């Protein structure tokens, strides 16, 4: 197979139920397209037989290129590994392995790329998920839009088509706490959105736990907004104002009414107010310090255990992608 024009990148984690459906639909897309297409599947340390299924398809179909990470690093890191491994000369088509992002939209995305756009991102106009999850996503995207110094489109996830040069820039960015959709917006170039209805999972259970979603949200907020650190200053000004007004009230009561707040209540109010603000401030500063701590370690973003490409088993490569400097 000559160098592919398009790489379809799909990270997988415990997707044995959806894997046959994924391969069937990807094969249909590739068979119907005149483009040279490769599929880059990334196993993010699956605990079921997803890796074995990936090996089987890669060894029987030279359009599949499989990357096996040494452990579970998380969706954003696995996606970064796939972007770094893709060989497409024109563009990368990024989807989720659970088929909530329909691969059949490749043609629509590629048409926009041919019009001159470097990033074609999907906008979810409808999600087939629970009410609470839809509400949480909606609130998060609108919060990010209001506080971020980068214009991150509303209701847009990682599902997108990016040009070769955008993929190269993403691979050169050594951020340890990655938020791909924010990084994609920060890069710039010409970008456009396409609306679509996000499907339900074709099989299996969601792999993004509440803890993982919270971590992803934190990475977005603390990596692409100055608001949290400025909030510390604002909280300080607010508490100083409250304390100053309380002092004035106390002096007025003392000199005009002879009534001064006594003992426990006043002391408790001051302690709770200032202690709460200090703990919030320390927590916000700690989020930044934690990211600095992990970034300065200089560890690689991930370790590749094995690569299978074009029916030939490649020797393990200890490290791929730029280290987090």
Provide the pLDDT for residue 159: 87
> Band of the pLDDT at 137, cuts 50, 70, 90?
low
Domain that holds residue 56: 6-225+299-323
Number of domains forming the structure of the chain: 2
Q: Confirm if 194 and 109 have CB atoms less than 8 A apart.
A: yes
Quick count: other Cβ atoms within 10 Å of Cβ 319? 12
- Report the CATH number that the domain containing residue 158 is assigned in CATH: 3.90.550.10
Mean pLDDT of the chain: 78
The pLDDT > 90 percentage for the chain reads 8
- Stretch (H or E) spanning 53: helix 50-60
Residue 163 lies in a domain: yes
Q: Three-state DSSP class for 7?
A: strand
Model-level pTM?
A: 0.70
Tokens 């997988």 locate to 12
Same domain, 202 and 98: yes
Token reading at 276: 């709460």
Q: Confirm if 170 and 94 have CB atoms less than 8 A apart.
A: no
> Band of the pLDDT at 324, cuts 50, 70, 90?
very low
Same domain, 220 and 233: no
Same domain, 204 and 246: no
Residue 208 lies in a domain: yes
Same domain, 170 and 252: no
Residue 204 lies in a domain: yes
Q: Confirm if 319 and 300 have CB atoms less than 8 A apart.
A: yes
Question: How many angstroms separate the most distant Cα atoms in the chain?
Answer: 92
Digit-coded pLDDT (tens) for 6-32: 899 999 988 888 888 889 999 998 888
Q: Confirm if 12 and 97 have CB atoms less than 8 A apart.
A: yes
Instruction: Provide the 8-state DSSP code for 268.
Output: H
Same domain, 117 and 199: yes
Q: Confirm if 9 and 103 have CB atoms less than 8 A apart.
A: no
Same domain, 172 and 308: yes
Same domain, 52 and 197: yes
Ramachandran category for residue 275: left, alpha or beta (phi over 0 → left; psi -120 to 50 → alpha): alpha
Same domain, 176 and 191: yes
Cα–Cα dist 114/238, whole Å: 52
CA dihedral 109, 111, 117, 123 (to 10 degrees): -30
Same domain, 272 and 189: no
Same domain, 217 and 231: no
Same domain, 33 and 64: yes
63 to 70, 113, 173: CA distances (angstroms): 23, 22, 28
Lowest mean pLDDT among 40-49, 123-132, 293-302: 123-132
Same domain, 93 and 170: yes
Residue 1 lies in a domain: no
Digit-coded pLDDT (tens) for 201-215: 566 555 555 566 666
């Amino acid at each position: 197979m000559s160098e592919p024009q398009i790489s379809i990148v799909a990270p997988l984690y415990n997707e044995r139920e959806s894997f046959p459906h994924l391969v069937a639909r990807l094969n249909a897309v590739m068979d119907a397209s005149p483009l040279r297409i490769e599929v880059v599947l990334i196993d993010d340390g699956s605990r079921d037989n997803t890796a074995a299924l990936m090996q089987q398809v890669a060894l029987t179909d030279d359009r599949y290129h499989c990357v096996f990470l040494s452990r579970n690093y998380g969706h954003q890191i696995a996606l970064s590994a796939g972007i770094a491994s893709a060989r497409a000369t024109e563009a990368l088509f990024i989807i989720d392995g659970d088929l909530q992002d329909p691969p059949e939209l490749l043609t629509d995305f590629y048409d926009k790329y041919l019009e001159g756009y470097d990033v074609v991102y999907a906008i979810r106009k409808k999600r087939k998920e629970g009410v609470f999850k839809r509400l949480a996503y909606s609130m998060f995207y609108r919060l990010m839009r209001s506080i971020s110094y980068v214009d991150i489109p509303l209701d847009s996830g990682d599902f997108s088509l990016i040009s070769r040069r955008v993929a190269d820039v993403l691979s050169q960015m050594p951020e340890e706490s990655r938020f791909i959709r924010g990084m994609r917006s920060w890069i710039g170039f010409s970008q456009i959105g396409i609306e679509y209805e996000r499907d339900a999972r074709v099989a299996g259970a969601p792999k993004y736990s509440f803890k993982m979603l919270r971590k992803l949200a934190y990475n977005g907020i603390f990596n692409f907004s100055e608001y949290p650190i400025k909030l510390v200053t604002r909280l300080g000004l607010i508490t100083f104002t409250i304390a100053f007004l309380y002092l004035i009230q106390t002096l007025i009561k003392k000199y005009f009414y002879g009534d001064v707040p006594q003992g426990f209540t006043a002391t408790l109010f001051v302690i709770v107010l200032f202690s709460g603000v200090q703990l919030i401030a320390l927590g916000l500063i700690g989020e930044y310090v934690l990211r600095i701590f992990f970034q300065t370690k200089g560890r690689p973003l991930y370790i590749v255990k094995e690569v299978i490409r074009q029916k030939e088993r490649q020797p393990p490569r200890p490290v791929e992608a730029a280290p987090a400097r």
